[in-house]
A = this chain, B = another copy of it.
């Protein structure tokens, strides 16, 4: 009786290939979320910061920050997909498709597209394709994600292994869908904070974003609750004190947002994340850590049919308690530098 109505989350053997999960808690995003997002990360990209700026270049209004949309969509999937996850393994084919504005209501649906039991039979990898939709049913965001999920019962039988074929990167022809036609003549570089447009960046260029941001417990808890992400490890010190690390683990998405906001210094005109090719949370972050970040231009691409904007494929690396003047990534032994928190590969767009 006591737990019959309780959601304890799905275990590996509960997932079936082709299963469609409509996630709970649709959410109307408002200027309230926007203000909190600013207070949590210090983003300064002019398009999201100013309605006047956004409208001048072609947006209906100031759009919701791409990562805020992502966090809200991902948050909805947690109770069904990753409540019993022990690792967040990766993202692929991750595309923003339509701008989201204050007042829009977001909901999320996931389809199980892959299942692979681990050889220890105690866990397995679950692959889902998640889509976030607005109140008109339009898909605003679509991504594949895979997580390692515990089995409830080691001996439970599972179906045959299915590993989806996911692209290594999103093709340039698929970029820019969530960016309206930009009136580049009306794009005020002084207000945006930089004179560097797409043509000014070079493949191989590395940028140390120089600033650092120390994270407090209250901050990441506020952020993660704002996203209605109820993953237990972020909030419950009573249990975490007895856990792997002895302390609450900060939501990996918090690090992505911090790194993106830090990247403003050097990438001021990269006003929109159009797609994510892949990403790894290399190490966990805990309260008290200071996050630094650096970027590398992996590739420059024209977007077919778009003369207004171009795309930069960027590696965004975040570190903990380690300034990035020397672009830390791997140690001398070729293994990841233990200070690295995040290694993200995304397509940003900016005016040409």
Binding site for B on A (CB under 8 A): 1-3, 5-8, 22, 24-28, 30-36, 38-42, 44, 46, 49-53, 62, 79, 103, 105, 107, 135, 190-194, 196, 200, 205-214, 216-219, 221-223, 225-226, 228, 230, 232, 235-239, 248, 265-268, 288, 290, 292, 321, 323, 325, 327
Contacts of A213 in B (CB 8 A): 235-236
Q: Can you give 29 A-B contacts (C-beta < 8 A)?
A: A2-B208, A3-B210, A5-B267, A6-B210, A7-B265, A24-B46, A24-B268, A25-B191, A26-B53, A28-B49, A30-B32, A32-B32, A32-B34, A32-B36, A35-B226, A44-B230, A51-B103, A51-B105, A51-B135, A52-B135, A212-B235, A214-B236, A216-B216, A218-B218, A218-B222, A219-B222, A236-B290, A237-B290, A239-B290
Assess whether A46 is in contact with B22, with CB atoms less than 8 Å apart.
no
- Knowing A38-B225, A217-B218, A219-B218, say if A25 contacts B5 (CB, 8 Å): no
- Knowing A35-B226, A36-B36, A206-B2, say if A190 contacts B52 (CB, 8 Å): no
Assess whether B25 is in contact with A49, with CB atoms less than 8 Å apart.
yes
Contacts of A62 in B (CB 8 A): 28
In the complex, A41→B238 CA distance in Å? 17
Assess whether B209 is in contact with A40, with CB atoms less than 8 Å apart.
no
Total identical chains: 3
Assess whether A221 is in contact with B219, with CB atoms less than 8 Å apart.
yes
Question: Apart from A1-B206, A39-B222, A52-B135, what 14 extra A-B contacts exist at CB < 8 Å?
Answer: A2-B325, A24-B44, A24-B192, A24-B268, A25-B46, A28-B50, A36-B36, A50-B105, A212-B232, A214-B236, A216-B218, A217-B218, A236-B290, A237-B290
In the complex, A237→B291 CA distance in Å? 10
Contacts of A26 in B (CB 8 A): 46, 49-50, 52-53, 191
Residue of B with least CB distance to A109: B190
Contacts of A44 in B (CB 8 A): 24-25, 228, 230
Q: In angstroms, how far is the closest chain B Cβ from the Cβ of A149?
A: 18
In the complex, A26→B191 CA distance in Å? 6
